[in-house]
Each structure stands twice: as structure tokens, then as C-alpha cells.
Amino acid sequence: MNPALNQRPENTLDAAPGCSAEARLILLAASVGDLESRRVRAESLCSENLDWDYLEKIAMANGMAAALIDFVKPFAEEFAGQPGYGTLKQRYYETVAHNLRLKEELLALLAFFETEAVDVMPLKGPVLAAELYPGLAHRAIWDLDLLVEERDVLRVHSLLESRGYTPEIEMTESELRGHLEADCEVNFDSADGQIHVEIHWNILPSFLGSKLDGPYVWNRRVEADFEGQKTWALPPEELLLYLCMHGGEKHQWSALKWVADVARLLARYPELDFDRARAEAARLGLTRSFRLGLYLARVLLDAPLPEKVSGDVLSGTTSAGLSGLVRGHLFRPDGGLPGYDEWCLYWRAEAEHRESLGVREASTPARGAYYRSVLTPEWNDRVFVKGVRLPSPLLYFVRPWRLFRIHGSGLFKRTS
């Protein structure tokens, strides 16, 4: 734990990493609320004794380095001499350069596959940044994700090799066909190693049995334009479901950038059909991820929601309990789960926020709510028993064993 956090009084909100001045500054940078009011709140935070080494670490881990630097520009003189700030500023320029290169390569690949009569749909990446963010530099993009139909994977594999790409794992054609049945992607690196491309034919590995799969996405595609290049995309409602599944099911909201994607979409499409999205989430078995994605976007990043939807999402304890785990994980230097005492601080902070939004409830949860949140099975628990189709109830036995292997008994003693 960083020294600045250790000096803050125990059992106060500032003692918890996810409520520290550094965390609040990053949340303000990622928020979709009014920019001027956010900067007024941020100015007082910037006058505090910020730990810039810690701030750099968590900003990078959350994919928020470029967004943070852009956000704090008006008060940059106050901490221009801080080494951590200098490193983040360098990351900002690197992000801009990297994202521009990814955009140009994506355009080249889309044009190339069009001439080869192969349908390709970009997932996230430069297309999502252009659709939802103020500029390309505002979203950290790590690679290019392209969805193709399963029947085209072998051909796409050969076409990428013809452009100098190297598969991350060399496979014979027979091995690749077996991989198609068991997994959802193959990965490639450009000749200079600077660009990573993931070719998907499914959204999650087939053994997970997700109903939001490749065919589902292709059946709902709409034509789109990216920098003058024809491509395919998802309508807002299906894109929301995809972002909630990707951020929640696959990544367990392990980086704030996944929450920011949801918040940006909600801000970009205020007329989104929530009834249809909610019904589709239920049909696809994504209700928990859908509700938690909306909850995190609303509570952490001030995303707009219709009053009826907001009241429904913010009520109850399931999303609130899981949100405390997410918030602790996002801002803990070790990336681990928060213990019970720390989790209670997040519950208190969010209870105050929920009350300000018109949702009244007890501010102190029972200890059982924490254990229910921690022990609810997630995607990684299914991956842990890959290849074994366990009934869902048995995953409640798998999860504590997997968590104990990672955290030991310290998880339940941890306070900050």
C-alpha cells in the first residue's frame, strides 16, 4: 500500500483506496458528467498531497492515463515537477501515437478484407473510440479485435500471414480446426511487433455456453462508416449488451475503461430502448452483468439514465455489493479484492450517493451481503474448470477454492 494512503485515518472513507483523493480524481476524469463542474471538484483534489507514483500506477492499470492527463490540463502547473505526472504525460503522447497507428492499420485491414470479399466487424478499438469518445486519444486501445464468421477463419488466418502477420501460437490446420470448436479467437502480431490483432469468431469460448455469440452479433449487424470505409457495427442496444458482457463476464470490470465504455454509450444514446435491452439481457442470461454495468456507470461515472431505469438499477443490494468489490479491485495497488471493512466503506460512500439520487436504504450492510458478493461465481470460475461442464450450483464450491488459492485467508482479514 502506498504511504499516502496509510497515513489516512482508519474507518474513514479516505482510508479506502477506492475513495482516496487519487481514486476520486481518476473517477472525475472518466466521468461523463458536466466537464466544468467536474474540474471545479478536481481542482480541490489537485491541491491535496497526491501520491503521483500511486496515481500513475492505477491510471495505467485502469486505461485512464491519457484521459487523466487531458482532464487535469488546467491545473498542470501545480504538479508539473512530479515524476509520476511526467510519466503519465509521456504515456499520453504514446497513447495518441499508438491509437493513430492502430486506426490506420484498421482502415487498411478493412479495405483489404473488403477486396477479398470477407465480412469483418471491428469490436471496440478505434471504431468505438470514434463513436463514443471526444477523440481517439481519450480511450486506451491495446489491440485490434475483429469479428469474422467461423467459416472464414482459416482464410483470414492465411490472409493475415500474407500481410506479414505472425500467429501468436503456431498451429497446423487440424489443430486450428480443433481450436475453432473449443475457443473464440486466434491472435496475431505484426511483423514489427507493434500491432496485436485478435480474430474472433465467437465472443466467449464455446464451453461457457454464452447466448451472445458470433451468430447473434452477425444477425443484428448494421452498416456503418468509419473514416469513409464501409464496415459493420451493432445497434446501440446490442452494443450496450456486448459492452456489459465484455466488461463484466469476461473482465469482471477489472479496469475502469470498461465502465467508461458503458457510461459513454449511455451519454451518447439518451434515447436508447432500455426495455428492449433489458428483455434481451434476460433472454441471453446477462441480467446481472447488464444491471451491474448500468449501476457502475451511473454511480461511479454519473452516466445518465431515465428515472425509471435508474430507480430500478440502484435499488436492491446485489449490484451495490458487487460494486464495492469492483471499486476496491480497481484502486488497490495489488489489484486484489477488498476485505470486509474496506468494502463497508464503499457501501457507505455509495449509499450516500444513492440517497442523493432518491434511493433510501440501510447504510450498513450485514456481513452476509459481503460474503454473498465475494462468493457469487463469475466467468473466471468457469474458466478455472475449463472443459468440465459443471452445473451452476457446483461453481459455488469452485469459487471459494479458487479465491483461497489466490488470496489465502487474508482476504477476510483485509481492511485497506
Domain closes at, from 216, 233, 250: 233
Give the single-character DSSP code of 207. Answer: G
What CATH number is attached to the domain comprising 163? Answer: 3.30.460.40
Q: How far from 266 is each of 86, 117, 244, 262, 384, CA to CA, in Å?
A: 33, 34, 12, 6, 33
Under the banding of pLDDT at 50, 70 and 90, the label for residue 81 is confident
| Residue 364, burial from CB neighbour count under 10 angstroms (0-12, 13-18, 19+) | exposed
| CB contact set of 364 (below 8 Å; sequence gap of 6+) | 344, 347, 348
Determine the average pLDDT of the residues in 209-214.
85
Shared domain for 386 and 265, answered yes or no, is: yes
Shared domain for 228 and 268, answered yes or no, is: no
pLDDT, tens digit, for every residue of 299-326? 999 999 999 899 889 887 788 888 999 9
Cα dihedral sign, 214-217-221-224? negative
Lowest mean pLDDT, pick from 271-275, 383-387, 399-403: 383-387
Domain limits for position 336: 3-50+237-412
Domain closes at, from 233, 258, 276: 233
Tell me which amino acid residue 112 is: F
| Residue 209, burial from CB neighbour count under 10 angstroms (0-12, 13-18, 19+) | exposed
pLDDT of residue 359: 74
Shared domain for 282 and 265, answered yes or no, is: yes
Lowest mean pLDDT, pick from 90-99, 126-135, 349-358, 378-387: 378-387
Shared domain for 245 and 164, answered yes or no, is: no
Strand bridging mode 144-147 / 185-189:
unpaired
141 phi, psi to nearest 5 deg:
-120, 120
Shared domain for 271 and 139, answered yes or no, is: no
Helix axes 83-115, 153-162, angle to 10 degrees: 110
70 phi, psi to nearest 5 deg:
-65, -40
Q: Which residue in 375, 399, 339 sits closest to 18, CA to CA?
A: 339
pLDDT of residue 46: 81
Shared domain for 347 and 395, answered yes or no, is: yes
pLDDT, tens digit, for every residue of 23-78? 999 999 999 999 999 999 998 888 778 888 899 999 999 999 999 999 988 887 77
pLDDT, tens digit, for every residue of 142-187? 999 999 999 999 999 999 999 999 999 898 889 888 888 878 999 9
Cell numbers of 366, please?
450485514
- Residue 387 in any domain: the answer is yes
Domain closes at, from 173, 198, 233: 233
Lowest mean pLDDT, pick from 58-72, 96-110, 261-275, 340-354: 340-354
